[in-house]
């Protein structure tokens, strides 16, 4: 039985853990604090139950849940983890701290991955002792329903690490695309640009949010309009990514004032009940 780890039990980390449990792996999830750990555990089990109701879970919920272990710190991860995916917030210093702590307990041939939607995988790798064993695995929200994973190859990532990441994506029943490490990769760079333009159109009164989203859903067959997508990702997350892309790729990614205002007001999308649409 494969032994794997996930650092962070939030929406993304929990979804990744759920998917890994579905492959039959023993999954260790790092989440500090009893209350947070219990919430993460319950979230993952609820996801397994939903997958079971939809006929998407092999085996039983009880069997999968029995292979889930919550631990307090990266240092508590078992040394025989063959893959650990870091899924903490998009704060470079935090990611570096977590990645270094995980690397310290892993075997030299283990694979360490970061789930980031925009940060430089090469820059994160530079803080590690074994950058060749490090790769980006960009999952999409919600993880259980999404079918894409971007495998982001840093300057020193070894070929066999890329192959191992692809094997895990295959086991998860998802499609992996391999992209060279660059700001925003492929998906965030295009998706954020579309989302920012949609926000500018709303800001300028071109149309309301419903009309803008419907235009892309029906006119271009997007499964979700750019404003609904921003609500799903989180307006705060999209703002942070846009600011990073502005600093690396230029002014075309400058966040509209409307996005800044909504984040300041706490309207962050689905997770708060209100963003560009109302979910209350």
Mind listing the pLDDT tens digit for each residue in 198-230?
Answer: 999 999 999 999 999 999 999 999 999 999 999
pLDDT of 112 reads 98
The H or E element that residue 89 is part of is none
Backbone angles phi, psi at 231, to 5 degrees: -60, -40
CA distance 16 to 70: 14
In this structure, how many other beta carbons lie within 10 angstroms of the beta carbon of residue 93?
Answer: 8
pLDDT tens sequence across 17-71: 999 999 999 999 999 988 999 999 999 999 999 999 999 998 999 999 999 999 9
Whether 144 contacts 51, CB under 8 Å: yes
Give the chain's mean pLDDT.
95
- What are the pLDDT digits (tens) for 89-109? 888 999 999 999 999 999 999
What pLDDT score was predicted for residue 1? 87
CA distance 118 to 186: 9
Looking at the predicted structure, is the pLDDT value of residue 161 above 90?
yes
188 pLDDT above the threshold of 90: no
Helix axes 226-233 and 209-219, enclosed angle (nearest 10): 110
CA distance 139 to 15: 9
Q: At what angle do helices 187-203 and 257-265 cross, to 10 degrees?
A: 90
Higher per-residue confidence, 5 vs 142: 5
User: Could you tell me what percent of the chain has a pLDDT over 90?
Assistant: 89
Average pLDDT for 245-266: 96
Model's pTM, two decimal places?
0.85
Neighbour tally for 80: CB within 10 Å: 11
280, pLDDT greater than 90? no
């Amino acid at each position: 039985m494969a032994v794997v780890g996930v650092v962070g039990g939030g929406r993304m980390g929990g979804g990744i853990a759920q998917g890994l449990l579905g492959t039959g792996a023993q999954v260790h999830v790092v989440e500090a604090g009893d209350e947070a750990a219990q919430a993460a555990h319950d979230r993952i089990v609820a996801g397994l139950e939903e997958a079971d109701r939809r006929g998407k879970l092999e085996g039983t919920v009880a069997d999968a849940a029995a292979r889930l272990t919550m631990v307090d710190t990266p240092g508590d991860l078992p040394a025989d983890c063959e893959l650990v995916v870091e899924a903490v917030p998009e704060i470079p210093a935090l990611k570096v701290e977590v990645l270094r702590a995980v690397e310290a307990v892993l075997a030299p041939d283990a694979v360490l991955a970061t789930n980031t939607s925009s940060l430089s995988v090469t820059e994160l790798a530079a803080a590690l002792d074994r950058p060749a064993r490090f790769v980006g695995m960009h999952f999409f929200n919600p993880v259980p329903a999404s079918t894409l994973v971007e495998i982001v190859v840093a300057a020193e990532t070894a070929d066999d690490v890329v192959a191992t990441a692809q094997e895990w994506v295959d086991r998860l029943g998802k499609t992996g695309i391999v992209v060279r490490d660059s700001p925003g990769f492929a998906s965030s760079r295009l998706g954020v640009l579309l989302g920012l333009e949609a926000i500018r159109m709303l800001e300028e009164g071109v149309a309301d949010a419903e009309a803008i989203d419907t235009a892309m859903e029906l006119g271009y067959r997007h499964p979700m309009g750019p404003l609904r997508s921003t609500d799903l990702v989180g307006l705060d997350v999209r703002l942070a990514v846009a600011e990073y892309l502005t600093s690396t790729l230029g002014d075309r990614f400058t966040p509209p004032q409307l996005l800044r205002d909504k984040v300041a007001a706490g309207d962050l999308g689905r997770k708060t009940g209100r963003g560009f649409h109302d979910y209350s």
